[in-house]
Amino acid sequence: MGWTPYYLVNITGEYPVRVNGTLTRVYSAYVRAGSVLVVRAEPVVKYLGLVVMRPNATSLVMVVNRPVRLFIAYTPNYANLLLLMLLIALALAVVLMTRRLGHGESWGEEVQL
């Protein structure tokens, strides 16, 4: 009679991840040697889409042949927030220029011939 080893697998993340299709923030189980685990992490949208948290790994397939400890970390992507700030600054500049020109002021010196 033979024996089959089982290994402790711990998978955690800053946000929930899918382990073999099940959404969880903490996965901890003894898994039979040779078992396949599929881990998927999706980007997380925060602050009405202004910041997107991107995982350090989006899809992992692993064959368990030893104890596993995996932490999915997320990095913020501020591109949408920076774009919004740029658009606000541009709109403010246009409004200020329009008001200045609307009050009879001109840009630069006037040349009389």
Which amino acid, 41?
A
User: What was the pLDDT predicted at 1?
Assistant: 65
Name the DSSP letter for residue 2. -
89-95 mean pLDDT: 88
What's the structural domain count of the chain?
A: 1
In a domain, 24, yes or no: yes
Residue 70 lies in a domain: yes
Global model pTM greater than 0.75: no
Does 108 have pLDDT greater than 80? no
**Residue 82: φ, ψ to 5°:** -65, -40
Query: Could you tell me the residue range of the domain that residue 24 belongs to?
Result: 6-78
Residue 17 burial (C-beta neighbours within 10 Å; 0-12, 13-18, 19+): buried
For residue range 4-28, what is the model confidence (pLDDT) as tens digits?
Answer: 999 999 999 999 999 999 999 999 9
56 lies in some domain: yes
In a domain, 73, yes or no: yes
Q: Look at residue 89 and tell me if it is in a domain.
A: no
Residue 103 maps to a domain: no
The mean pLDDT of the chain is 89
